[in-house]
Chain A
């Protein structure tokens, strides 16, 4: 029974899809249901079981074409999920880090000498990156909903992935810049507080995790033909 035409179609279709496991499972479950329903309808019309299954698969469409349409939807769904994560996690992470710093280390002025202007500029820019990246993700989510029917799904998936990559990239750059700048001004500040070092490590872990999500978004969006 494992080699009937519906099983072969489902295996072929499943092997071509990439995205959230739940989304893929939902789509495949729905597909199998549909093929079984169509088979039953053809059986009622008097076809043999094998013929009914073959007709059901034939009517469903060429696997490459269907997989392509499914993948576009999976890619856009993955992009949406990633953008939601970015919109929520980035500002929360930044606020938690700043709150922790104020609590454990205190304001930067308490370090003694006032840092140079260029350092304050980098610090200010880094403060803004999380908020800006989160805002861009939010705007992309709203636009994605409005434009869902107006633009090609494949294009929207690629746009969502690009925005996610860009947002994480900017936050990553901001964090790397402030660490490099702090090391240049006074390297001892980087290791002044163990809890803050741990908080920074957690921040980097989250950013890298978001980066991996964004990269997978791009991978889902670019396997669509």
Chain B
């Protein structure tokens, strides 16, 4: 998948990746890649500024902690982040329902 197509959804993807767990930067990148079956092809360096942006918005908090014997900055969702994730999921469902109604086949648009 093209990086430009992903950028607009990066915040939501990061929030979803952090749902219910605390991860460091590279673990988040691995989860994103594994979760997409390797289809997410974003420069990994863009994830860190995006995490800072989410932190600034109060959706994520970070802490330096020792993971696997190394000191890492780990991230987790805040309550505001949980609410933002719910809103992102709801908006995404609404969006895909609308688009699928037109592009998904079966409707009058699919016949033309």
- Which A residues fall within an 8 A CB radius of B? 26-27, 29-31, 33-34, 37-38, 41, 59-62, 65-66, 69-70, 72-73, 76-77, 80, 144-145, 148-149, 153
Q: Report yes or no: B44 in contact with A69, Cβ–Cβ below 8 A.
A: no
Question: With A38-B26, A148-B56 in contact, is A33–B46 under 8 Å at CB?
Answer: no
Known contacts A66-B46, A69-B46: does B29 contact A34 (CB below 8 Å)? yes
A38 to B29, CA, bound (A): 10
Q: With A and B bound together, what is the CA distance between A62 and B73 in angstroms?
A: 23
Checking A34, A73, A145 against B25 with a beta-carbon cut-off of 8 angstroms, the contacting residue is A34
Complex: how many Å from CA A30 to CA B29? 13
* Cross-chain contact A144 with B56 (CB below 8 angstroms): yes
Contact between chains at B72 and A33 (CB < 8 Å): yes
A23 (CB) vs chain B CBs: closest residue: B52
Total interface residues on B, using CB and 8 Å?
22
Question: Are B57 and A34 interface neighbours, CB within 8 A?
Answer: no
With contacts A38-B44, A60-B44, A70-B48 taken as known, whether A33 is within 8 angstroms of B56 at the C-beta atoms is no
CB pair A61–B57 under 8 Å, yes or no, is no
Contact partners of B49 in chain A: CB under 8 A = 69-70, 72-73, 153
B residues less than 8 Å from A59 (CB atoms): 43-44
**Complex contacts, B70 vs chain A, CB 8 Å:** 33
B77 CB, min distance to chain A CBs, angstroms: 14
Q: Is the beta-carbon distance between A60 and B53 smaller than 8 angstroms?
A: no
List 17 A-B pairs, Cβ < 8 Å.
Answer: A27-B48, A29-B73, A30-B48, A33-B25, A34-B44, A41-B30, A59-B43, A60-B44, A61-B43, A70-B45, A73-B53, A76-B56, A145-B57, A148-B53, A148-B56, A149-B54, A153-B49
A153 to B53, CA, bound (A): 8
Residue of A whose beta carbon sits closest to that of B72: A33
Chain B residues whose CB sits within 8 angstroms of the CB of A80 once the complex forms: 56
Cα–Cα distance between A77 and B53 once the two chains are bound (Å) = 10
Q: A33-B26, A34-B29, A38-B26 are in contact. Are A145 and B46 (CB under 8 A)?
A: no
Residues of A within 8 A of B57 (CB): 145, 148-149
| Cα distance, A30 to B45, chains bound together (Å) | 10
Q: In whole angstroms, how far apart are the Cα atoms of A149 and B46 in the complex? A: 15
Min distance, Cβ A4 to any Cβ of chain B, angstroms: 18
The answer to whether B53 touches A66 (Cβ under 8 A) is no
CB distance from B44 to the nearest CB of A (A): 5
**Of the candidates B11, B24, B43, B52, which one forms a contact with A33 in the assembled complex, judged by CB atoms under 8 Å apart?**
B24
A29 cross-chain contacts in B, Cβ below 8 A: 73
Shortest distance between the CB of A58 and any CB in chain B (Å):
9
Which A residue's beta carbon lies closest to that of B48? A30
CA gap between A152 and B111 in the complex, in Å: 40
Smallest CB separation, A53 vs chain B (Å):
14
Most buried by B among A34, A60, A61, A70: A34
In contact, A66 and B26 (Cβ under 8 angstroms): no
Interface residues of B in 7-29 (CB under 8 A from A): 11, 24-26, 29
Contact for A60 among B43, B54, B59, CB less than 8 A: B43
